[in-house]
Structure 1
Amino acid sequence: MTTTLFIYVGQQYSMREIFNLLFWQYNFILLFSVFFGSESLLHKNYLGPAMGLSAILLYLQSVRIPKYKWFFLGLTAVAVFYVQQANSGMGKALFVILIALLGFLRFIKRLPPRLAFAAMGMFLAIGISLVILITENAEYIIVEKLDKDMTLTGRTLFWPLIVDAINRQPVLGYGYGGFWQPWRGAENPALPIVSPSGYVPPHSHNGFLDMGITVGWLGLALFIVSLLMSIYYGVLYLTRSNEPEAVVPLVIFTWLVISNYTETGLASISSSWIFYVLMTTRLTLDTTENKFGDRFA
């Protein structure tokens, strides 16, 4: 029902209107954090990436409405402060990647769509590699450089166990909510998933692995094909539109891909899934309606 609702929203609202919806949503999170504390609304592992996205949306709003440029830039600074306050290593890394993305999109906007799509793929690969570098060197980077407590040590070490679990149900997976079932005790399919440090995860801490657990390798492959098509449509939208919000789809997809490397959301009703549905619906309609002329140039 939630997915159907946001398909409808994606059909009825333009990209500019969707940007406004996202802008007010994340400003609500920002203002709520200011008045009630930085972790009163979201856990720090989600607050950091949320504040990073809020900062980007506020900056884009300052470009869209020059009359209030300094007001929105001031709010951007507040959002950046809460990226720091969230004390999330992923939030800080993701914020840096999103800042780099804005500059990179100005460059690829002038390229032919297919070349721009290839460049976007390279940017995502570099971004994911950066996150992997941080993950693999977590004790040095997170503790010493980012001043973050290592509360999930061994996260990557239980991922092979999850891959093995997917291999036991490779075609259709375990179904929605069919794997992580701690209330079943000894019959819990996820019972063997424990990190070497003894941490018992409530989910994969990786949205793509959770997608595989839910719908199998086949479903994950179909999702990745759909995601790549949506990114291509996002590149088309960027290269054919002169509006400041033209960067939003690619910002959202980058945020989604990077944040789901160490957290989950793609296989549940969450911001990641809702954003994916919204952007895919809107971009598909814009492309199939041939609003930009030579769409496959």
Structure 2
Amino acid sequence: MNPKIEKALAIFGLLVFSGVIGMVSYGRGSDGAGGSAGGSNPFDKIMMVLRYAYYGYTIFMLTVRLKTVVRPALRDVLIWGLMGVIVMSYLWSDFPDISEKNGRLTLLTSLFGLYLASRYSMKEQMSILQWTFGISVVFSLLYSGALPNYGIEQGTHKGAWRGPLLHKNHFARFIAISTVPLLFAALKAKKHRKIIWGIFILSILLVQLSTSKTGLLVFFTLMLLVPLCKALQLTKSVIVPFLIFIVLIGASAATWLVNNWEPFLYGLGKDPTLTGRTDIWAFVIDKIRERPWLGFGYEAFWEPGGEGENVKFYILLVLSQAHNGYLDVAVHLGLIGFALWFGSLILCFFRGLIWARVGGEIEDLWPLLYVIFLLVYNNTESTIVETNSFFWILYVAASLSMKRIRAVIPGAWEIETENKKLV
């Protein structure tokens, strides 16, 4: 296949999984104005067909290049252990049909991430992401301007931008991570610099227009981390990794605080209305204790009629997630699934530190920055291991793209089986 056509297909595939070109918000009401699930989207069936087409395309491309797939696949075996738990969870799920179907789709989603990792270098992947996010940012602006009744929240969050996505928080999450590849593109641009910088600045504006405090906080965290991570390539000092770790802890704590400010004040003896997420978390933790090892089955807990629906009797809310990725993984897949998932994240974090330090290009900072983004965002939103998840695709691709590195002598590194040493 022509490399340019294949790259274009990869970009279009990511746009499909992102939900942007599917215009998920079109025809659907906002919270408090028809409900986020109210209405129907005429493009849903088209997007479903496109996703299945990409799964077929992925299997074909992996099969014809099988020899180049095995080594990247083995770079993070915890991912495949997690996929095994997900695929098999229908055996103990409260809704076996749902867990079986969604488990298969999530495995296929992982294979698309494997395809990207096995086919493209980190630099090439970053180019694909830059095109994907650049198109998404411009399209979101045009969509929201042309269709403000759908692109801008009309109900509870009136005035907040959600763009072509279902909710303002989904939009903020997507745009917040888009700023990193777009910044990389702007810093390295030799042609069309003003246009690329303009798109990057537009992405910042869209984060602000979403009015998401978490999105804005994560954006500032990522922008602070870019020069810190770049310093890994310029110095061997242990202070830089320590500072990165401190920023990660601080950002996680700040994200928790901005989303639970009222319960926090209540705990200090103040008397605001108690509206944070802590009540939801307490309910979910109690449920995890009921089935600690394997959970309630992949994506089964919050199904109508499932155990998660009982939350409305305790806190008078109807939910589809725990607003905490760590708890959602544990309640669906138990402590075994959680250990595989979280273990992969932590492994990716430390591998990302080494990869950023050894690599000489700004693109080599991506895996570290992306896993930090996931670690922070999962404090308040489920941002990973979801069916047809754009974010899971990017995680699998980032983790499996980092070749194994071993120290030869202090200060010298050997990358996998290549005869290449970076000092």
Q: Which TM-score band (shorter chain)?
A: 0.7 to 0.9
User: Does the 8 Å contact 2:225/2:244 carry over to 1?
Assistant: no
Q: Secondary structure at the match of 1:176?
A: coil
User: Does the 8 Å contact 1:210/1:267 carry over to 2?
Assistant: no
Gaps of 5+ in 2: 1-107, 145-150, 152-161, 266-273, 407-414
User: Alignment RMSD, CA only?
Assistant: 2.8
Q: Secondary structure at the match of 1:221?
A: helix
Q: 1:253 to 1:290 in 2, by over 3 A?
A: farther
Query: Is residue 2:342 matched to residue 1:224?
Result: yes
Query: Is residue 2:93 matched to residue 1:21?
Result: no
Q: Please list the CA deviations of residues 36-59 of structure 1 after superposition, one character each: whole Å capped at 9, or x if unmatched.
A: 104341121011122222222211
Q: Secondary structure at the match of 2:312?
A: coil
Q: Please list the CA deviations of residues 42-80 of structure 1 after superposition, one character each: whole Å capped at 9, or x if unmatched.
A: 121011122222222211101122333332111111111
Q: Which moved more, 1:193-202 or 1:82-91?
A: 193-202
User: Does the 8 Å contact 2:112/2:393 carry over to 1?
Assistant: no
Q: 1:276 to 1:156 in 2, by over 3 A?
A: same
Which residue number in structure 1 is paired with residue 164 of structure 2?
41
**Counterparts in 2 of 1:11-90, with a 5 A limit?**
11-37=118-144, 38=151, 39-42=162-165, 43-90=167-214
Q: Please identify the structure whose Cα radius of gyration is greater.
A: 2
Alpha-carbon distance in structure 1 between the residues aligned to 2:124 and 2:319:
38
Q: 1:162 to 1:291 in 2, by over 3 A?
A: farther
Which residue number in structure 1 is paired with residue 226 of structure 2?
102
Q: Which moved more, 1:173-182 or 1:194-203?
A: 194-203
Alpha-carbon distance in structure 2 between the residues aligned to 1:263 and 1:160:
16
Alpha-carbon distance in structure 2 between the residues aligned to 1:171 and 1:113:
41
User: Does the 8 Å contact 1:153/1:197 carry over to 2?
Assistant: no
Whichever structure has more helix as a proportion of its residues is 1
Shift of 1:20: 1.6
Select 2:398's aligned residue among 279, 282, 287.
279
Alpha-carbon distance in structure 1 between the residues aligned to 2:264 and 2:288:
31
Shift of 1:94: 0.9
Give me the identity figure in percent: 25
2:398 aligned partner, one-letter code: M
Gaps of 5+ in 1: 142-151
User: Does the 8 Å contact 1:116/1:235 carry over to 2?
Assistant: no
Alignment size in residue pairs = 282
Q: Secondary structure at the match of 1:67?
A: coil
User: Does the 8 Å contact 2:349/2:372 carry over to 1?
Assistant: no
User: Does the 8 Å contact 1:180/1:202 carry over to 2?
Assistant: yes
1:63 aligned partner, one-letter code: L
Q: Which moved more, 1:268-277 or 1:78-87?
A: 268-277
Alpha-carbon distance in structure 2 between the residues aligned to 1:118 and 1:294:
25
